[in-house]
Chain A
Amino acid sequence: MKGFADIVWIELRKVVRARVPYFTALGFLVMPFIAALLIFIYKDPELARRLGLLGAKANLVVGSADWPGYLTLMTEFTALGGFFFFCIAISWIFGREFTDGTLKDLLAVPVPRHAIVLAKFLVAALWCLALILETYAAGLALGALIRLPGGSAAVILGGTGRLLAAAGLSILLVTPFAFLASLGRGTLLPLGIAILTLILGNLATTLGWGDYYPWAVPALMVQGASPAPFSYGLVLLTGMAGLAGTAAWWRYADQNR
């Protein structure tokens, strides 16, 4: 256990000292600001009219200009934006070992490679969770700032639960991108595929096949479309496949970098 704690320490230190996590933290903060802006515009129809298209879009997206509507909007943004930011996190954690040429120093060591992979996943999950908490705290502060009505402990707690569930599903769904980062020996392949995954997710949902496409499930869930129970199973399976595939690749593939 002490050995594993050491490996987690190593991975945490690498993340904390790098710039990328702080850029993702800054970038992800845009989500609650957009949600708060849309709600704010929705609250003031006169302003919405003057803003033209943005006003129209705000009317389309926002259900109600109160805490429940605001939290739902934030959760939707988190499910979509979160996936991409989580992809950046996990792709960087795995891909940087290849681009920085440091992978070789992790291979012939008296620590099992699967422990290193597991520690990387754990730190990636912590990174994603930190992004969620930061965004959520900012979101709550912004909601209070624009004086939204309809807030209660039950509403906030319910919204928090849905947001964490969406974040959990998104975290599970990005594990295959660790495999892609290892396979592609960097961050380009996983981030390219992440964009494709989002496009295909939109298509699958539009065509009514969202239940069968794991990456569409968090969005379906937060939109209240109630995905089928097997859809959650698919998400879990995708997460496990990503974990196992990455561990196997680190264990068995030739490492030339």
Chain B
Amino acid sequence: MSWTIETENLGKRYGRVTAVEGLSLKVAEGEIYAFLGLNGAGKTTTIRMLLGMIRPTAGRATLLGQGVRLGSREPWARVGYLVETPHAYPELSVRENLEVSRRLHPGTERKAVDQVIERLALGAYADRKAGTLSLGNLQRLGLAKALLHAPRLLLLDEPANGLDPAGIVEIRGLLRELTSREGVTVFMSSHILAEVSRLAQRIGIIHAGRLLQESNLDELERNRRQRLLVRVRDPQAARAVLMAAGQPVGVSRDGTLELAGPAALERPDEIATRLVQAGVPPTQLVVEQEDLEEYFLRLVGEKGISQ
């Protein structure tokens, strides 16, 4: 299988500081791959290495079948990107900024500028100077520059940055359309798991420069912790009943009982029956799945500390 992105043991050190280490990942054609990590985890350094802006101190990267070299001309005609905060020439209009991008990609037709303005809903701002745009519209302009020359691969660093909720939904739809209809591959970084889990087929989690986990959405679902939450009028009595029945129980500050054992999760009705029989009936009983942010932070905390 040929991979659109392939890195092998990619690493970058600045003196004694390790920004990225031993990064090996593969992204298939037409896939949306989310690269998740906290601020400073190494996401942007990785994207800059993939774009030939930073020379790796170890390993190598291949994009669209071509090895990435610092300052090389290939394969950038087929790659669109947005790195960190979007910037544009403030004295030029939105249209002129896009014209600059068009001329930096020889062979891109003149009409591509109008098309991308329409696609990113920038029509109302087309003749406005970029220096007067809001962060959200600057982000749209950044995305428009990335898409202008109809690339086969998109490398997007925090693409939802600065967008309002409607804008986020719109961009999500646009990226989905690009991958499903046009077979474009998207590699996007983010620090919000909930956001990327709605879009990405695979998610790589990076922390302190190392890839902690790579999983598809199903694996992610399986890995997330579940717990049974039980509210009763007398938590201590209920806890004693359940402990006596061999169920490990935690009690939260607000008196909610938390059960994480497989028996409790698979048969919550038995827990309810037992409590009713003991005279401490539940007032509320719910199986709750660990939310994505909790999962992400747990993973980063556990594996980050164990390193």
Contact = CB atoms under 8 A, between A and B. Distances in A.
A110 B91 contact: no
Contact of A108 (B51, B85, B92): B51
B53 A13 contact: no
Given A10-B104, A109-B104, A110-B105, A104 B53 contact: yes
Contact of A7 (B51, B70, B101, B103): B103
A42 B92 CA distance: 47
B96 A107 contact: no
Q: Which of A3, A7, A9, A256 has the most CB of B within 10 A?
A: A256
Interface in B103-147: 103-106, 145
Contact of A107 (B52, B90, B103, B106): B52
Chain B contact-residue range equals: 20 to 34
Nearest to B86: A101
A14 B76 contact: no
Given A17-B91, A110-B73, A255 B54 contact: yes
B103 A6 contact: yes
B54 A112 contact: no
Contacts of A14: 89, 91-92, 100
A205 to B, nearest CB: 39
B88 interface: yes
A105 B90 contact: no
Nearest to A8: B103
Contact of A3 (B51, B84, B87, B106): B106
A19 interface: yes
Interface residues of A, number: 30
Given A17-B96, A109-B104, 15 more contacts: A9-B103, A10-B103, A14-B91, A100-B87, A100-B90, A102-B87, A102-B89, A107-B52, A108-B51, A108-B53, A108-B79, A108-B81, A109-B105, A110-B74, A256-B53
B248 to A, nearest CB: 49
A111 interface: yes
Nearest to A9: B103
A113 interface: yes
Contacts of A46: none
A257 B79 CA distance: 19
B83 interface: yes
A110 B92 contact: no
30 contacts: A2-B106, A3-B106, A6-B106, A7-B103, A13-B96, A14-B89, A14-B100, A17-B89, A17-B92, A18-B91, A100-B87, A102-B87, A102-B88, A104-B83, A105-B145, A107-B71, A108-B51, A108-B52, A108-B79, A108-B81, A109-B76, A110-B74, A111-B106, A113-B71, A252-B55, A252-B70, A254-B54, A255-B48, A255-B53, A255-B54
